[in-house]
Chains A and B, each alone.
Chain A
Amino acid sequence: MDYFLNLINTIGIHTLLGLSAYVLLLTGQLSLAQAGFFAVGAYTAAILTVIFGWNILPAIGLGMLSTGSLAFLVGFPALRVRGLMLVVATLAFGEFVRMFFYNFEWRVIQEGVEVGPEGTMGFSEIRYFAEHGWTNWEVTSLIWVFVVIVMALIWWADQTRSGAVLRAVGEDELAAGTVGIDVMVTKVAAMTVGGVIAGLAGGLYAHQITMLDHHAFTVLLATFAIAYPILGGVSSVFGTLVAVIFIQGLLVEGLRFLGDWRMLLFGALIVVVMNVKPRGLFDSQMLRWIKNALRLRFSRGLS
């Protein structure tokens, strides 16, 4: 059961991570920085609960604020350049964050014990949930409440003008500018929102996994983050969720018997999917097919 709950937790956190990249992908920007914001959110929230004794919600909240601000600042230089350069900039940023935490130390004595991040040794003893008597189910619920809220918010925003504006920028930046859309503001706003969501995911992750290690925040994680919305397509938030379930559930856990070869499969899978469905697994074509299929099923049921 614990193993199962862990999987559910991972899926939830990775969905948030994927959604943070999704928002950016709507504007046509492929960001490999989300793992970096994830890391900052994780360390910030953990430091607040462990070293400063904060309650978890405000800790995660401040984490989100800091990653949002960071994303806002990073956005300006990074988004002045074309999409491809953004990949390089975000890739570099992600690595920078990882290296930063590789070197980062903040040790504090609490009740006779040393706690806090310790550079290469990572940050262990993030025991908020245990110390406050949270059951595993409660932790899982907390994570998924946030997942549902974020998905609902993004879905709702997509129904408003903002969603259309984001997508317009993603479809044709030049035309968007020509009809009066401030493309730079739109892209930076998307980057900031993406940063906030990644910070949320990080804060939850830190407390769920109870220890942070710089190895977790590599380019691989950044690639997972962007792979989810690419695989899932940008037509709908549900695509990202399905992609996470597919990749995490099937590949990482279900194929455990492949051992370390599963990463090989992951790489090959990306190559294959990109060739077969360059607009993502769940593009508008697929969605319409699903809608029609469901409609058929229901009408048959009624008659």
Chain B
Amino acid sequence: MLEVRALSKNFGGVKAVKELDLAVNAGDIFGVIGPNGSGKSTLVNLISGVFSATSGDILFQGQSLSRLSPHARVRMGVARTFQNIRLFPGLTVWQNLWVARNSAEDIRAEGVSYRWFRKGGPVKKEIDNMLEFSGLADKGDELASNLAFGEQRRLELARAAATKPRLLILDEPAAGMNQDEIRDLDWRIRQLRQQGMTIILIEHVMDLVMGITDRIAVLNFGSKIAEGEPAAIQENKSVQEAYLGQSKDD
């Protein structure tokens, strides 16, 4: 589904991502972990189009994303959430979801008039369902800025899902969550995968990552230092060193 080939990103002198190779299979939940500064967020920004790569390529379902703007990538089916939630604060919860309905199929279905679509009919049903799924059913008319933190996180997730992506990248969605919220998030991610999405999960919260992913890639200083199934990664020495520094025995 997604292939990253020799991807590099330099910011002035800083090499945030160095010749990165990744392959994500359709239907997988693929984890990306690594210490702070390892290039995880840069990777997300590169795939979603916020940054343009210094070299290398990103292929989505065989097609290169290189020259596409962020919104074009969404139309192709790639969506992402933000680590530090970027909802539209002045819009209501309902509106936040409404403006995100930009998938190719939604645009086709509603034709030219999709931009002018009033708050009704099958659109309303879909959005109400999403609100229901996110536990925000009664908050539709609330301003996004007035939501509690947990609610905002759920809205952020729902908004990305509203674009009906084939590939959804979650950028540290569990940050700041308590155990209950993390369990809830785990459930949500599984639901989304069941609906047919492939998911890339960037995370620090190890319980979540180890429990939910099919494969994990570990980044350090912009390069991949390990890749494999969760169990193997947990045993991997270089991964441990990357996170904890040199072990006492060395």
A and B: bona fide binding partners: yes
* CA gap between A174 and B102 in the complex, in Å: 15
What is the 8 Å Cβ interface bit string for chain A, positions 171-183, against chain B (1 contact, 0 not)? Answer: 1101111111111
B50 contacts A by Cβ under 8 Å: yes
Would A178 and B80 be within 8 Å (CB), given that A160-B118, A164-B99 are in contact?
A: yes
Does B91 contact A171, Cβ atoms closer than 8 Å?
Answer: yes
Instruction: Judge whether A284 is part of the interface by a CB distance below 8 angstroms.
Output: yes
- CB within 8 Å for A179 and B82 given contacts A165-B99, A167-B91: no
Interface assignment of A159: CB less than 8 Å from any CB of chain B: yes
| Contact partners of B163 in chain A: CB under 8 A | 179-180
Among B49, B90, B143: residue with most chain A CB under 10 A: B90
The answer to whether B86 and A175 touch across the interface, beta carbons within 8 angstroms, is yes
> What bracket does the count of chain B residues touching chain A fall in?
35 or more
Contact A168 B91, CB 8 Å, known A178-B48, A178-B70, A180-B74? yes
**Known contacts A180-B102, A183-B71, A161 near B116 by CB under 8 Å:** yes
Q: Which residues of B contact A55 (CB under 8 A)?
A: none
CB distance from B146 to the nearest CB of A (A): 11
| Smallest beta-carbon distance A234→chain B, Å | 9
Q: Are A176 and B99 in contact (CB under 8 A)?
A: yes
A-contact bits for B85-98, CB 8 A (1 contact / 0 none) = 01111110001101
A161 pairs with B86, CB closer than 8 A: no
Chain A 136-178: CB-based contact to B (< 8 A → 1; otherwise 0): 0000000000000000000001011110110110011011111
Of the four ranges (under 10, 10 to 19, 20 to 34, 35 or more), the interface on chain A belongs to 20 to 34
User: Do A179 and B160 contact each other (CB < 8 Å), given the known contacts A161-B99, A171-B91, A172-B88?
Assistant: yes
CA distance A159 to B94 in the complex (A): 12
**A167 near B90: Cβ-Cβ < 8 Å:** yes
Contact B50 A179 (CB under 8 A): no
Bound complex: CA of A160 vs CA of B123, how far in Å? 12
Decide if A164 touches B90 in the complex (CB within 8 Å).
no
Selected contact of A175 from candidates B87, B95, B101, B117, CB within 8 Å:
B87
Q: Are A171 and B98 in contact (CB under 8 A)?
A: no
Contact across chains for B88 and A171 when beta carbons are under 8 A apart: yes
Q: Do A177 and B118 touch (CB < 8 A)? A: no
A181 neighbours in B (Cβ, 8 Å):
71, 99, 102
Q: Which residues of A contact B114 (CB under 8 A)?
A: 161
Contact across chains for A175 and B82 when beta carbons are under 8 A apart: yes
CB distance from A199 to the nearest CB of B (A): 22
Q: B132-146: contact bitstring with A at CB < 8 Å (1 yes, 0 no)?
A: 000000000001000
Q: How far is the CA of A164 from the CA of B98 in the complex (A)?
A: 8
Contact A178 B86 (CB under 8 A): yes
**What are 5 A-B interface contacts by the 8 Å CB criterion?**
A160-B119, A161-B117, A162-B116, A176-B71, A178-B71
Residues of A that sit less than 8 Å from B by CB:
157, 159-162, 164-165, 167-168, 171-172, 174-183, 284
Among all A-B residue pairs, the 9 with the closest Cβ atoms: A180-B102, A180-B74, A177-B70, A179-B100, A175-B86, A164-B95, A171-B88, A168-B99, A168-B88
